[in-house]
Chain A
Amino acid sequence: NAGVTQTPKFQVLKTGQSMTLQCAQDMNHEYMSWYRQDPGMGLRLIHYSVGAGITDQGEVPNGYNVSRSTTEDFPLRLLSAAPSQTSVYFCASRERGSSSGRARSADTQYFGPGTRLTVL
């Protein structure tokens, strides 16, 4: 298994440009998430998905769009890049939990290696 993969690893954009950060997982996980990591602020949730065709907003969704047409892929789109979006972006996935005892084993999130984005 490749786990969670992200492309590109590095990207520089000019203000106003658009781009898509790619994320894919081969573990058949239903849950996928996008986070941004900024110094001193930990990881903040941007958007997440609980399955194909279902997405929802996280803590900091403004300026980003997502879609989930397949279980494997969860791209993050920046519509019009701004310097405030300079950050490191992480994609993550995990199994679907349930109300049974198996739920706890599905708590673990698996992270991709990250995309470092700079907006000038």
Chain B
Amino acid sequence: GDSVTQMEGPVTLSEEAFLTINCTYTATGYPSLFWYVQYPGEGLQLLLKATKADDKGSNKGFEATYRKETTSFHLEKGSVQVSDSAVYFCALKSGNKLIFGAGTRLAVHP
């Protein structure tokens, strides 16, 4: 079945460092791909999405490009802030369902 694999955390970075969180997927067809973010004590919020190959989703300085050839949707940010500390989930839409990765916790220190 369809699945999402993302890098294990936690990821610990200093402020202004470059961030990459890897995400790969297995799916039939061309699913929509998503990154959701969960701040401490809150529900999930959509961070960005891409709906077809080579699309780039972007929001709040984060970017991810839909790579069909490598079945990947890696999340990047050029300069992280302390306020980016959260858990990040990669997900794909499979039929009526949203399939999530296990989540990657990011901790950014001043």
Contacts and interface: CB of A to CB of B under 8 A. Distances in A.
Contacts of B96: 31, 48, 50, 56
Question: Which of B32, B42, B44, B51 is the most central at the interface, judged by chain A CB atoms within 10 Å of its CB?
Answer: B44
A4 B4 CA distance: 25
Contact of A40 (B44, B93, B98, B102): B102
Contact of A42 (B43, B49, B89): B89
Given A42-B89, A107-B32, A107-B34, A113 B43 contact: yes
Given A104-B32, A107-B34, A41 B98 contact: no
B98 A111 contact: no
Contacts of A40: 102-103
Interface residues of B, number: 21
B34 A48 contact: no
A1 B57 CA distance: 26
B103 A45 contact: no
Interface residues of A, number: 25
A109 B98 contact: yes
B97 A108 contact: no
B62 interface: no
Contacts of B100: 35, 42-44
Given A45-B97, A58-B97, A107 B102 contact: no
Question: Which of B46, B89, B93 is the most central at the interface, judged by chain A CB atoms within 10 Å of its CB?
Answer: B93
A109 B42 contact: no
Contact of B43 (A31, A58, A90): A90
Nearest to B43: A111
Interface string B63-106: 00000000000000000000000000100010011111111000
8 contacts: A42-B89, A43-B44, A45-B98, A108-B34, A109-B98, A111-B45, A112-B43, A113-B43
